């Protein structure tokens, strides 16, 4: 039974997510010296998609974010309650959520070169000015940039160590090396690494001794250390 004066679709209109007025001065800047694009999606807030372009220490990239909101539900009759979050909370969440999800990041000494600062440069119409903001970051937050660069270099070092270990343990399987590991080697000028070469994807075969998958280009099984007598390199294998 309907309520007197209620028009059709009243409940549906009551459930719509309509944002309230947004403070145009509430801006924060996410800074990236990571040489890859970062895409962070948060489906529970609006706006919830954040795309940070690749950057370097000399030419950092920036993403200027404003406040976002989520909606709390009480019951089927009351409208959804908007819960706003400031731009600094949004920027903090974007940086931490992305960095927490990458390999070899400890969020302290070794992590991707991402950080955020409150504010940005805006014109008289409160529109963000990207070039002016980048110059402002390089001038006012030079120490933060250097710290981010130091942490990112340590992160690269950890990725390269992991890549060396995985390459040895997988008997030279290129699938064991991630894109971040290859990026770390390029940025560290270590393109001479074996796992940085343009390897074709090989078909793994079963070891005749233990049955584990192995790279047929190598004579020794990484699992059981058995030597494949049919491999042309088997005659050159010597043990200390």
pLDDT tens string, the chain, 240 residues long: the values are: 445 544 454 455 556 777 788 888 999 999 999 999 999 999 889 999 999 999 999 999 999 999 999 888 877 777 788 899 999 999 999 999 999 999 999 998 999 999 999 999 998 888 899 999 999 999 999 999 999 999 999 999 999 999 999 998 887 788 889 999 999 999 999 988 888 875 545 567 888 889 888 878 788 888 888 888 888 888 887 765
The verdict on 223 and 182 lying in the same domain is: yes
| Domain assignment present for 1 | no
| Domain assignment present for 3 | no
The answer to whether residues 160 and 194 touch, using CB atoms and an 8 Å cutoff, is no
The verdict on 210 and 148 lying in the same domain is: no
The verdict on 125 and 173 lying in the same domain is: no
DSSP helix/strand/coil, 75: coil
224: which residues sit within 8 A by CB, 6+ positions away? 207, 209, 210, 212
The verdict on 173 and 227 lying in the same domain is: yes
Of 48, 49, 36, nearest to 85 by C-alpha is: 48
Q: How far apart are CA 107 and CA 83, in angstroms?
A: 28
The verdict on 138 and 206 lying in the same domain is: no
Q: How many CA atoms lie within 13 A of 145 on its CB side?
A: 20
List, as own/partner pairs, every contact residues 126-133 make where C-beta atoms lie below 8 angstroms and the sequence separation is at least 24, other chains included. 126/24, 126/25, 128/27, 128/64, 130/62, 130/64, 133/29, 133/62, 133/64
The verdict on 109 and 165 lying in the same domain is: no
| Domain assignment present for 5 | no
The verdict on 127 and 195 lying in the same domain is: no
Q: How far apart are CA 11 and CA 21, in angstroms?
A: 23
Last residue of a domain, one of 127, 154, 181: 154
| Full-model pTM | 0.76
DSSP helix/strand/coil, 27: coil
Question: Considering Cα of 139, then 144, then 147, then 153, what sign does the dihedral take?
Answer: negative
Q: Can you read off the two tokens belonging to residue 59? A: 């030419």
Last residue of a domain, one of 94, 128, 154: 154
Of 28, 140, 26, nearest to 84 by C-alpha is: 26
| Number of structural domains found in the chain | 2
Last residue of a domain, one of 154, 189, 212: 154
The verdict on 175 and 80 lying in the same domain is: no
The verdict on 71 and 141 lying in the same domain is: yes
The verdict on 181 and 227 lying in the same domain is: yes
The verdict on 67 and 88 lying in the same domain is: yes
Range of 45's domain?
10-154
């Amino acid at each position: 039974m309907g309520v007197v004066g209620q028009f059709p679709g009243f409940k549906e209109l009551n459930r719509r997510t309509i944002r309230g007025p947004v403070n145009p001065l509430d801006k924060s800047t996410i800074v990236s010296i990571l040489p890859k694009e970062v895409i962070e999606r948060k489906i529970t807030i609006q706006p919830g998609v954040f795309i940070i372009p690749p950057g370097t220490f000399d030419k950092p990239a920036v993403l200027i974010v404003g406040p976002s909101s989520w909606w709390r539900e009480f019951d089927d009759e009351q409208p959804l309650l908007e819960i706003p979050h400031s731009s600094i909370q949004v920027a903090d969440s974007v940086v931490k959520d992305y960095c927490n999800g990458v390999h070899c990041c400890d969020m302290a000494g070794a992590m991707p070169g991402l950080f955020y600062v409150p504010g940005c440069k805006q014109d008289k119409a409160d529109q963000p000015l990207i070039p002016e903001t980048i110059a402002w970051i390089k001038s006012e937050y030079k120490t933060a940039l250097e710290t981010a660069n130091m942490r990112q270099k340590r992160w690269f070092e950890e990725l390269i160590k992991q890549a060396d270990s995985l390459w040895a343990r997988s008997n030279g399987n290129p699938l064991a090396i991630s894109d971040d590991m290859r990026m770390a080697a390029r940025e560290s000028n270590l393109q001479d690494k074996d796992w940085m070469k343009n390897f074709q994807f090989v078909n793994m075969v079963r070891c005749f001794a233990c049955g584990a998958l192995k790279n047929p280009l190598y004579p020794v099984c990484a699992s059981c250390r058995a030597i494949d007598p049919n491999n042309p390199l088997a005659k050159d294998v010597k043990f200390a």
